[in-house]
Amino acid sequence: MYALSTMVHLNSVADAKAQLLKTPLRSLNHPDDIRRSPDFSQVKISLIEKAAHVSCIETYFVDSSGLGSPSEPALTFNAFKLIITRLLTVANIHNERLFCALTGVGQFQVYVSIFTDGKVLHYANIN
């Protein structure tokens, strides 16, 4: 017999796997692929990592309205694209795949998490 906390955790992982089967993580091959990121805002990042066998590199706070300015806390989409371009360059060098998902959704900003199935980028400081 499992403890209640263990059963809750197992059910949460199962829910994350079901979400991934319905809407898999988006493979990131070009910065514009971010625009079609699936919404995983109701799933904890740690559960996404376990269910998809990936690790989160970083989560970015990005303006989604298109009206943000560089002086605001959220990255503009152009600034975010530069970061993603650098990540893709390093990923290609190390033959790693990148994936993206929205892990927080607000009215004007989103949290975009970048995942990898390798080991090198997880420890790289790309910012």
Question: Domain residues of the chain, as ranges?
Answer: 4-123
Residue 10 pLDDT: 53
Residue 67 pLDDT: 81
Tokens linked to 98: 């990148």
Q: What is the H or E stretch that residue 4 is in?
A: helix 4-22
CA separation for the pair 12, 125 (Å, rounded): 30
Please name the residue that has the structure tokens 């990005």: 62
DSSP letter string over 36-68?
G--B-TTS-HHHHHHHHT-EEEEEEEEE-SS--
CA separation for the pair 52, 67 (Å, rounded): 33
pLDDT < 50 regions, the chain:
none
Task: Note the helical H segments in 65-117.
Answer: 77-93
Residue 69 pLDDT: 80
Residue 51 pLDDT: 82
Residue 111 pLDDT: 94
